[in-house]
């Protein structure tokens, strides 16, 4: 996308050529000229925006008289069965909630160069001693005893025991945690009546749907009925495919193969050009062949116009897209799902970091503020200042600091691709010495590391805190020593630290803990 904007493009016309002017004054095209190949949808957009003559388009970016570069084609279960009769196919099946009977929302024939099979569902029950989880979808019992890797979204790798501890805790609280299970693609399709699935990679994912599968099938798995309806049987479970019930059956074209997943929060969209910008700086394009994923949730959006309206109304919009790269590096969406989020946190924005730190200076003119952990962050047009905070502008922050008040920033940041950070959201709070400790700094954050011998711990925001014999331990915590906290994080259990501290120049990080509560996030 950067190449797309920074290199000059030329209209090739009968009788000569002329440069296409760049409309964005902030971009400075290079002086040397380059020959570039754009995918037809994007080339048509460029030509139209530059004022070059082009045929009347029949859709966004598709000139009349030219065959569109289709990313996927509409198919039906009969055509899928015909193909499966000659060679196995890897298909992605998305299942509607509420089964049985299980009804497919979508069936798509994939490129089997992705050498994995995957099941995504919700966990209904778990047996740690047997190493199994029972899924909501089909009541499948999945063997995870031999899994090589257990992960938790937003946390990372955990031990098997920590994985089952989190699952059992969620089930006891009445929740059904989402899970993604994968294994290598088998050499031949598994029998349609065989319910077995031994996962090698297991990840807890709060956004997992009730049923989504990527599986290798052949003609044994397909039963074709009338009017494009039929049944796909996998792992002993029947999945109804019926256009009358809303099932879409598609076959990804060669141009749609090798798609990669892009997730993040949307900062802006341009419905006219199909451009989608994310807060972490990435950009991709929606074209006429892009398929919008929607479900029964009112928060999903079915057009870029709806996304633009949601952003204008002040909502966060999260996107999950599969994109392919053109020869020029521009990313084009094969399929995309936009969903309104009530709030933004690190789970909604892969790669994001939540940081809490004291503000040491603020420059309203430059739109920046500096934190005690050494970071300097800039408030951009897309940055949201949380109205729930005590201070709602950098000017108010600067005034508070000038009056000797302590100000803490709770910020959500993403990498900007240049080794720094870009600010997504921030809340400014006044620190006023709660719990009767004069000048105390209230803190709360995820534990990153512990040095038991030195009596210190470090939070993910980079701050280091000193615990002494005078530190008071809150009785309603879960752990009551730094050694216990170190053991917990070593076993993959997230740990939250909360308390009050005072500035102390003799402390390694300049902060000495007065009172402390340690909780495990299970």
Q: What is the enclosing helix (H) or strand (E) of 490?
A: helix 482-490
Three-class secondary structure of residue 518 per DSSP: strand
pLDDT value of residue 24: 36
Q: What is the enclosing helix (H) or strand (E) of 41?
A: helix 40-50
- Judge contact between 495 and 520, C-beta under 8 A: yes
Q: What is the enclosing helix (H) or strand (E) of 167?
A: helix 160-172
- Judge contact between 388 and 427, C-beta under 8 A: yes
Residues 382, 178: Cα–Cα separation, whole Å:
31
- 128, with CB counted inside 10 A (0-12, 13-18, 19+), is middle
Residues 397, 154: Cα–Cα separation, whole Å:
31
pLDDT digits (tens, 9 = 90+) for 43-57: 333 333 334 433 222
According to DSSP, the β-strands at 102-110 and 248-252 are parallel
- 482, with CB counted inside 10 A (0-12, 13-18, 19+), is buried
Q: What is the enclosing helix (H) or strand (E) of 312?
A: helix 304-312
pLDDT digits (tens, 9 = 90+) for 455-500: 999 987 778 899 998 888 887 888 999 999 999 888 888 899 998 8
pLDDT value of residue 359: 86
Computed from CA positions of residues 83, 200, 334, 42, in that sequence, does the dihedral angle turn out positive or negative?
negative
Peptide bond into 100 cis (omega under 30): yes
pTM, 2 dp: 0.46
Residues 325, 347: Cα–Cα separation, whole Å:
26
Three-class secondary structure of residue 78 per DSSP: helix
- Judge contact between 184 and 165, C-beta under 8 A: no
Three-class secondary structure of residue 181 per DSSP: strand
Residues 321, 492: Cα–Cα separation, whole Å:
30
Residues with Cβ within 8 Å of residue 19, at least 6 apart in sequence:
8, 9, 10, 11
Per-residue pLDDT of the chain (522 residues; tens, 9 = 90+): 333 333 333 333 333 333 333 333 333 333 233 333 333 334 333 333 334 433 222 333 332 233 334 455 556 888 888 888 888 888 889 998 888 899 998 888 876 556 789 999 999 999 999 999 999 999 999 999 989 999 888 777 889 999 999 999 989 988 899 999 999 888 899 999 999 999 999 999 877 888 999 999 999 999 998 888 999 999 999 999 998 888 888 776 554 455 677 887 888 899 988 899 887 778 898 887 788 877 655 567 888 999 888 887 767 788 888 887 665 667 888 888 898 775 555 555 555 667 777 888 999 999 999 887 677 888 887 788 887 788 989 999 999 888 877 788 888 876 554 446 678 888 998 875 444 455 567 788 888 899 999 999 998 777 889 999 888 888 788 899 999 999 988 888 889 999 888 888 888 888 889 889 999 875
How many residues are given for the chain?
522
């Amino acid at each position: 996308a950067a190449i797309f904007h920074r290199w000059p493009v030329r209209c090739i016309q009968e009788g000569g050529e002329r440069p296409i002017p760049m409309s964005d004054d902030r971009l400075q095209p290079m002086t040397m000229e380059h020959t570039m190949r754009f995918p037809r949808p994007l080339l048509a957009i460029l030509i139209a925006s530059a004022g070059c003559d082009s045929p009347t388009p029949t859709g966004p970016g598709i000139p009349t008289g030219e065959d569109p570069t289709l990313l996927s084609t509409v198919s039906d279960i009969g055509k899928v069965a015909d193909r499966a009769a000659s060679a196995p196919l890897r298909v992605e099946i998305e299942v509607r909630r509420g089964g049985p009977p299980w009804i497919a929302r979508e069936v798509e024939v994939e490129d089997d160069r992705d050498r994995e099979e995957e099941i995504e569902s919700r966990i209904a029950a778990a047996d740690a001693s047997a190493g199994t989880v029972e899924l909501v979808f089909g009541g499948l019992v999945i063997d995870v005893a031999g899994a090589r890797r257990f992960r938790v979204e937003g946390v990372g790798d955990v031990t098997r025991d920590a994985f089952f501890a989190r699952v059992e805790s969620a089930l006891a609280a009445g929740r059904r945690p989402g899970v993604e299970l994968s294994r290598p693609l088998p050499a031949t399709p598994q029998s349609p009546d065989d319910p077995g699935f031994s996962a090698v990679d297991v990840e807890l994912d709060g956004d997992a749907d009730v049923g989504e599968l990527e599986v290798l099938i052949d003609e044994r798995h397909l039963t074709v009925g009338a009017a494009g309806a039929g049944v796909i049987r996998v792992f002993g479970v029947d999945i109804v495919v019926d256009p009358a019930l809303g099932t879409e059956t598609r076959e990804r074209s060669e141009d749609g193969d090798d798609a990669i997943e892009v997730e993040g929060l949307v900062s802006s969209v341009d419905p006219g050009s199909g451009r989608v910008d994310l807060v972490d700086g990435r950009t991709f394009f929606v074209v006429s062949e892009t398929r919008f994923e929607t479900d029964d949730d009112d928060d999903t959006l079915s057009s870029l116009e709806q996304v633009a309206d949601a952003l204008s109304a002040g909502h966060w919009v999260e996107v999950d897209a599969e994109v392919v790269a053109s020869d020029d590096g521009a990313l084009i969406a094969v399929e995309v799902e936009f969903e309104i989020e009530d709030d933004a946190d690190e789970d909604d924005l892969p790669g994001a970091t939540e940081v809490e730190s004291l503000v040491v200076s603020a420059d309203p003119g430059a739109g920046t503020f500096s934190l005690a952990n050494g970071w300097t962050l800039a408030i951009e047009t897309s940055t949201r200042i949380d109205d729930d905070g005590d201070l709602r502008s950098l000017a108010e922050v600067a005034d508070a600091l000038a009056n000797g008040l302590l100000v803490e920033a709770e910020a959500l940041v993403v990498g900007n691709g240049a080794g720094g950070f870009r600010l997504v959201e921030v809340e400014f709070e006044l620190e006023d010495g709660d719990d009767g400790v004069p000048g105390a700094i209230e803190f709360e954050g995820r534990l990153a590391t512990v040095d038991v011998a030195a009596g210190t711990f470090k939070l993910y925001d980079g701050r280091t805190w000193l615990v002494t014999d005078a530190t008071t331990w809150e009785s309603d915590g879960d752990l009551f020593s730094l050694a216990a906290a170190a053991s917990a994080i070593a076993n993959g259990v997230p740990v939250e630290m909360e308390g009050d501290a005072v500035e102390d120049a003799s402390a390694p990080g300049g902060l000495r803990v007065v009172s402390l509560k340690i909780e495990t996030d299970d």
